[in-house]
Amino acid sequence: MKAHTKETQASMTPEKAIAFLKEGNLRFQNNLRANRNLLEQVRDTRQGQFPFATILSCIDSRIPAEMVFDQGIGDLFSIRIAGNFINDDILGSMEFACKLAGSKIVVVLGHTSCGAVKGACDGAELGKLTGMLNKIKPAVKAVVHPSEASERTSANLDFVNEVAEKNVDFSIEGIRAGSDVLAEMEKNGEILIVGAMYDVATGKVTFFD
């Protein structure tokens, strides 16, 4: 598989980009890989890059986006921060990726058993980590269980995973509200902004409807 060129990127629609990622994740789940020469892709991209997708994911070592989606050199813009939340620097990076560099989709990729989400659920405090986790706490508060007896700590993995999904939703809302550039591109059909969850037990990525 060759590295993407300006022409192949231009021919990609947002819907096709999502299909590429889904196909890649299916290969990953089945321990298969597309036939690609990474060093050849290094050479092919030495004068330019034409990624078709931008992935915002957690720093968790189990979720390298290129491997999870079976993509190669020059295929993805990969943004990583603990808890995959949004700030102005990340929005600026996404604007560059989509408006200037041609990316067709923005995927906010959360995952099960997220350590940052667990820390937010437990109210963990440690140096600069405290302020970072505060950005995830709105998702913690937004998950309401029918029973007040439901344990709202990291000991309850179902709760943690619900918060992780809600955090993805909030990040997507944050992209649309925080970036007029990206919101307009989505409105015009130039890009899609979508959420997804990675299961650390199976390797499966489930895209939100």
Q: Which pLDDT does position 108 carry in this prediction?
A: 98
For residues 28 and 70, is the Cβ–Cβ distance under 8 A?
Answer: yes
Which domain covers residue 16, as residue numbers? 6-207
Residue length of the chain: 209
CB 73 within 8 A of CB 38: yes
Q: Within the chain, which residues score under 50 in pLDDT?
A: none
Looking at residue 8, what is its pLDDT? 87
3-state SS, one letter per residue, for 100-129? HCCCCEEEEEEECCCHHHHHHHHCCCCHHH
Q: How far is CA 43 from CA 33, 47, 49, 71, 165, in A?
A: 20, 8, 11, 16, 38
DSSP letter, residue 49: -
pLDDT for position 147: 58
Within a domain: 193? yes
* Domain total in the chain: 1
For residue 167 the two structure tokens come to 């955090």
In angstroms, the CA 16 to CA 191 distance is 11
| DSSP 8-state code for residue 32 | -
User: Is 124 part of any domain?
Assistant: yes
pLDDT confidence of residue 146: 64
β-sheet bridge partners, residue 77: 54
Q: Read off the pTM.
A: 0.94
* Cβ pair 195, 169 in contact under 8 A: yes
Give the CATH number of the domain where residue 184 resides. 3.40.1050.10
Q: If residue 133 lies in a helix (H) or strand (E), which one and from where to where? A: helix 127-134
Q: Is residue 59 part of a domain?
A: yes
Give residue-wise pLDDT tens across range 44-54.
899 999 999 99
In a domain, 1, yes or no: no
| pLDDT tens by residue, 126-165 | 999 999 999 999 999 999 876 555 789 999 999 999 999 9
Residue 150 has a pLDDT of 73
Query: Structure tokens of 60?
Result: 């968790």
Report if residue 49 sits inside a domain: yes
